[in-house]
Amino acid sequence: MKVAVVGATGMVGEVMLKVLAERNFPITELLLVASERSAGKQLTYKGEEYTVIGLADALAAQPDIAIFSAGGATSLEWAPKFAEVGTTVIDNSSAWRMDPSKKLVVPEINAHELTTEDKIIANPNCSTIQMVMALDPLHKKYQMKRVVVSTYQSVSGTGVKAVQQLENEIAGVEGEMAYPYPISRNALPHCDVFMENGYTKEEMKLAREPQKILNDRTFSVSATAVRIPTAGGHSESVNVEFHNDFDLTEVRNLLSETPGIVVQDNPDTNTYPMPIYAHDKDDVFVGRIRRDETQPNTLNMWVVSDNLRKGAATNAVQIAEYLVENSLVSSTSEAIS
C-alpha cells in the first residue's frame, strides 16, 4: 500500500506517523509530504529516514491512500487532484465535512457507509468525534432530543504555536501569541473564529457534524467551546435529553460495551476521566454519569479524549484500515499483478 501523509511535519502529522507505526498499517511505500518550505527535511518512520517532498511530487507518485492534515485551503486545492488520479483521500480539515457529497466518518459508527466511490472522506472535528462516540449507543437506545455541550479544550487543538505560548507563559518568557490573551491561568471562551450568529466556528461544528455522522437531524446540539491551559486532551460536559427514559446502570453497561469507550465512573474512589490520563491513548473516556434532576429523561456525563489521537490521527488511520480490510482501496502492487 503506497501511503502519503500530507502535513507530516505538523503536530497531527507527527502523531499520524506514530499511530501508523503502532498499528502496523500495511505500508510498502511511504511518502511524507509538506509545504514547499518544509520539502527536503528529514523525518524518521520505524527507524528509517525519509525526505519530505512537496505536494506536486506526491501527486505524481499516485499514492493509494493520502491522509491529509495540512489545513482547509490545502485540502480544497489538492484533495480533488489526488482523487482524480485514483488516490483515496482521508482529510482531517474542516474543508469537506459538511459537503453533502462527502462522507463524514467515525469508523465505529458509520464506516459501513463507505464504498469504492468515496475518494474524499472527511475526518470529523476532534471534539465532535469524542462526543458522538459517547452519544451513539445512547441515541440508538433512548433517542436523543437535545444536547447541550460545553468543552474544555487543550491548546494542542490550536497547534504548536499555542503549545509554545502556554509553555512560554508558564516559564515567564515573552514570545509569539497564538491567542489574543494569555492562556496560562486563564480560560478563553473562544475556539476558532466568531461567526455572524455569535457562535464560534468550533461551536457550529459541534452543532452540525453529529447530525451528519448519525444520519439524523431530529435532535439538536447547542455548544459552548472553551480553550483551557492543558497541553493535551479535550474534555466535555455533555447534557443530553432523550425522548425515552433510561436506567443509569443500563447506560453505564451500554457505554462499557461500546468498542472504543472506557467508563471511569466511581465517585467513591474519585474515579473520573481526566486529560492527563487520556494522553497518548486511543479510547474515549466517560464518567460523572448522572441523571439531570431538573428535567425528565436527561443525562449528564463527562467525556474526555486525546484530541490528537482519536480526535484526529487515530480516527483517520482507522478509516484507512477499514478501507483496506474491506477491499475498498486497492494497492498499486495488486493493480500491477
Which three cell numbers, joined as nine digits, stand for 84?
482524480
User: If pLDDT is split at 50, 70 and 90, which confidence band does 303 have?
Assistant: very high
Amino acid in position 268: D
Q: Tell me if residue 51 falls in helix, strand or coil.
A: strand
Catalytic residues: 126, 234
Residues in the chain: 337
State the binding site.
9-12, 37-38, 97, 153, 156-157, 227, 307
State the binding site for substrate.
153, 227
Neighbours of 316 (CB within 10 A): 26
Whole-Å CA distances, 301 to 7, 67, 226, 265: 34, 32, 17, 10
Q: Could you tell me the fold of the domain covering 127-306?
A: Dihydrodipicolinate Reductase; domain 2 (3.30.360)
Neighbours of 266 (CB within 10 A): 10
pLDDT digits (tens, 9 = 90+) for 273-291: 999 999 999 999 999 999 9
Q: What's the mean pLDDT in 204-210?
A: 98
Which three cell numbers, joined as nine digits, stand for 323?
478501507
**Strands 42-45 and 29-33, how do they pair?**
unpaired
For the chain, which residues make up each domain, given as ranges? Answer: 2-95+312-336, 127-306
Which DSSP string corresponds to 90-130? EE-SSSSTT-TTSEE--HHHHGGG--TT--EEEPPPHHHHH
pLDDT digits (tens, 9 = 90+) for 86-120: 999 999 999 999 999 999 999 999 999 999 999 99
Smallest CA-to-CA distance from 301 within 248, 258, 257 is with 248
What pLDDT, on a 0 to 100 scale, did the predictor assign at position 332?
55
Q: What's the mean pLDDT in 61-66?
A: 98
2-95+312-336 and 127-306 agree in CATH topology: no
Residue 335 has pLDDT above 60, yes or no: no
Q: What's the mean pLDDT in 18-26?
A: 97
Under CATH, which number does the domain 2-95+312-336 receive? 3.40.50.720
Q: Are 289 and 248 in contact (CB under 8 A)?
A: yes
State the binding site for NADP(+).
9-12, 37-38, 156-157, 307
